[in-house]
Amino acid sequence: MNELKALIVDDEKGMRLSMKKTLERYEFTLENVEDEFTFKTRITATGEEAIQIVEEWQPDLMLLDYKLPKISGLEVLEEVTTEESEMVTVMVTAYASIETAISAIKQGAFDFLAKPFEPSELRSTVKKACKNLILAREVRKLEEEKRRVRFEFLSVLAHELKAPINAVEGYLGILSDRVLGEKIEEYDHIVDRSMVRVHGMKKMIEDLLDLTRIESGQKKRELEIYNITEIIKHSIETALPQADEKDVSIHLHNDEDIEMECDESEIGIIMNNLLSNAVKYNEKGGQVDIDTEERKNEVVISVSDTGIGMSEEEQEKLFEEFTRIKNKKTKEIQGSGLGLSILQKIVNLYEGNIEVESEPGEGTEFTVILPKDSGSSEE
């Protein structure tokens, strides 16, 4: 329930009271807005008092008579219209003429109501005016929320990018101060660590570009019929060098063609992320299993590993941006903390689903379910 404040300005007492009665008995709802709206009112007979009430009470809506005893409705309007003011004004007058209507609208009135009018006319005009006000407020709320999220994202991003730079700067300082003596071999570890951090940062920037492209809708989706199995095989090849390094084997259990309308690069990003995680968070000598299944209306891809697994608490935070599971076992693993939020965003484009099952010390299984006919739906 949302009570809107309406100020009624009219020098005719009967008019004031009937408008008051109509509004106070009026209740309306708007499409896509959950609240139900009602009115509380204040009434006045003069422009001077109206200006004062607007200032103190800050109404949402003003029903303003054009012809008032001393200062006119137009003058009141001029006085109370400021840039910050959110109030909507409906001009009410018995002397309806195009000229007065135009000057009132020019002055910032939202609409115009000619006397005499039926209560139903008043209601529909008021509803239209309030709808305008409420939608503008909703838009502004959304924009503020967007700004806040963006700001938060940027400060976390700055922090995340600063960390590897600090690390590399520290190592370069050791090098330039020759802290370990003159022999270059003494610095091998330092150079290695610097490379690891620089690569991590590069990966983060790449992920970030993927993410912004998806979010801004700049990345043009090219939806065609593709063979998912082929895309998966390609991703396996991409993951192989990383897997060999850890002696992890990757097995694809279903070799049949699975055709689906999709964007090849999107499915590629999904698979690359899943496989890279399954390898990274695996034990040495571990295994990655890929299962696919074509159902009537959906394609199911699951990737399971024999890795370190996650606790339930850790799983809950999994899809948040820049979240990385921090524990003893993950300390040596580099990651941007963006991979899974990218994955989630792409799967959302398909109106699909991601499921996670994990057991600490046992391994993790990610299952991605993509509805077959949703690739073409506009998002």
Could you list the residues that contact other proteins (CB under 8 A)?
Answer: 155, 159, 163, 166-167, 169-171, 173-174, 179-180, 189-190, 193, 197, 326, 328, 331-332
Identity at 295, one-letter amino acid code: R
Nearer to other proteins by C-beta: 226 or 281?
Answer: 281
Rounded to 10°, the helix 264-280/228-245 angle is 30
Q: Measured from the CB atom, is 102 or 172 closer to other proteins?
A: 172
Smallest distance, Å, CB 170 to other proteins? 4
**Six-digit token pair at 252?**
């694809």
Min dist CB 202 to other proteins, Å, is 16
- Within 8 A by CB and 6+ apart from 17, the residues are 43
Q: SS3 of 346, please?
A: helix
Residue 173 or 217: which CB sits closer to other proteins?
173
Q: By C-beta, is 70 or 183 nearer to other proteins? A: 183
Closer CB to other proteins, residue 139 or residue 184?
A: 184
Burial 337-373, CB ≥16 within 10 A → b, else e: bbbbbbbbbbbebbebebeeebeeeebbbbbbbbbbe
**Residue 237 token pair:** 């090849």
**Minimum CB distance to other proteins, residue 329 (Å):** 11
Helix axes 188-216, 119-176, angle to 10 degrees: 160
69, 140, 293 from 264: Cα distances, Å: 72, 37, 18
Alpha helices (H) in 25-118, listed in sequence order: 47-57, 73-80, 98-106
Pairing of strands 249-252, 287-294: parallel
Q: Could you tell me the smallest distance in angstroms from the CB atom of residue 173 to other proteins?
A: 8
CB of 200 to other proteins, least distance (A): 11
| Shortest distance (Å) from residue 314 CB to other proteins | 12
CB 358 within 8 A of CB 310: yes
Closest approach of other proteins to the CB of residue 163, in Å: 8
Closer to other proteins at the Cβ: 164 or 309?
164
What is d(CA 142, CA 11) in angstroms, rounded to the nearest whole number?
A: 40
Q: Which lies closer to other proteins via its Cβ, residue 56 or residue 313?
A: 313
Residues 370, 349 contacting (CB under 8 angstroms)? no
